[in-house]
Amino acid sequence: MELSGPRWKGKNYAQIANSNPMSEIIAQLQVCLSNSESAALPIGTDFLLETEPELTDLFNCTSFGRQLKTSNGSKGYFQLSPEETFYLHHYLNCLKVLINNANLINVNDLWNFMRSRNELFPIYYRAYMHLRSKNWVVKSGTNNGVDYVVYRHHPELVHSEYAVIVDWEKESGEKEGGRLRVWSDLHCAVRACNGVAKAVLLLNVMGYEVKFSLPELLERMTVGERQITRWLPSQCRDDCKLDNDVEADDIDVASDKNVINHTTRYWVVPLQTQTQPEIGEEDSDYAPSMSL
């Protein structure tokens, strides 16, 4: 579906976002995190970071990680995904990481550590980096049955516009990823995402070879972007690409619960910092479309 533009969750939220470019808040995060003594530690497949109040605020405003709410008011605890951890460590060069409580790890060792735990890490990191480096906010897409969802600014201010599926191929062009292998995969992705007013974005990571080192990989892996849209000829006889499965404004479950308080900072972090899953309306237009 071609969206008519970002769906802001409230009046004036677009202005709040425009007045607070994400790149600037991230720059503040970089400074604060570099100066902090906190280091991230592996927990499960993710990483845990303990933060002081100023850093807690900045993590929330840049929407990195998931805050673990505790009764301890003075410290923050954030759970970071491997991609987020590596992005903060490598691309933003501000996060320290500690493995096995030993010395602080360097970037190449961290790279190897990430790869040893997930052989697909380079592909997902490349995709994550592609989106975050353009200042889109990238969060897990599990709730929507995809890899990531991306937001134009903070999830409290705006609904996510794209549901992202990551596919990949080797340098030779040989398809590797095996996403969207059969037609029902396509139908499934488009139906699930259009039901919550998101367009499906296919990120194709190209040029992957297992043997590459980190710099080689990042230099030679490129990312192509394509949207996947379903066209309903019965609903659109104009020369448009509009895919009329769902009216975007009908779907809005989460935003009422978020409160904006302009006197403290740009926005107040509510008790539940995870973005609520958005529940779609039943999509009766997706019926067998044969006529005659």
Residues that bind another protein (CB under 8 A): 18, 21-23, 131, 134-136, 150, 152-153, 162, 167, 169, 173, 175, 180-183, 185-187, 190, 201-202, 204, 224-234, 237-239, 241, 288-292
Q: How far apart are CA 110 and CA 103, in angstroms?
A: 12
Q: Minimum distance from CB of 149 to another protein (Å)?
A: 13
Q: How many CB atoms lie within 10 A of CB 237?
A: 7
Are 141 and 150 in contact by the 8 Å Cβ rule? The answer is: no
- For residue 191, the minimal CB distance to another protein (Å) is 11
Closest CA to 49 of 23, 75, 29: 75
Least distance (Å) between residue 71 CB and another protein: 36
Strand partners, 158: 8
Residues 6+ apart with CB under 8 A from 83: 121, 124, 125, 128, 129, 138
Cβ proximity to another protein: between 97 and 202 the closer is: 202
Task: Using the minimum distance from each CB to another protein, give the nearer residue, 23 or 274.
Answer: 23
Q: Is 159 considered catalytic here? A: yes
- Min separation Cβ 225 and another protein, Å: 5
The question of whether 154 is a catalytic residue gets the answer: no
Query: Is residue 153 a contact partner of residue 10, using CB atoms and an 8 Å limit?
Result: no
Amino acid (one-letter) located at 43: I
C-beta closer to another protein: residue 47 or 148 = 148
| Catalytic site residue from 128, 148, 151, 162 | 151
In the complex with another protein, the residue whose CB is nearer, 20 or 276, is: 20
CA pair distance 104, 81, nearest whole angstrom: 18
Just list the catalytic residues: 151, 159, 198
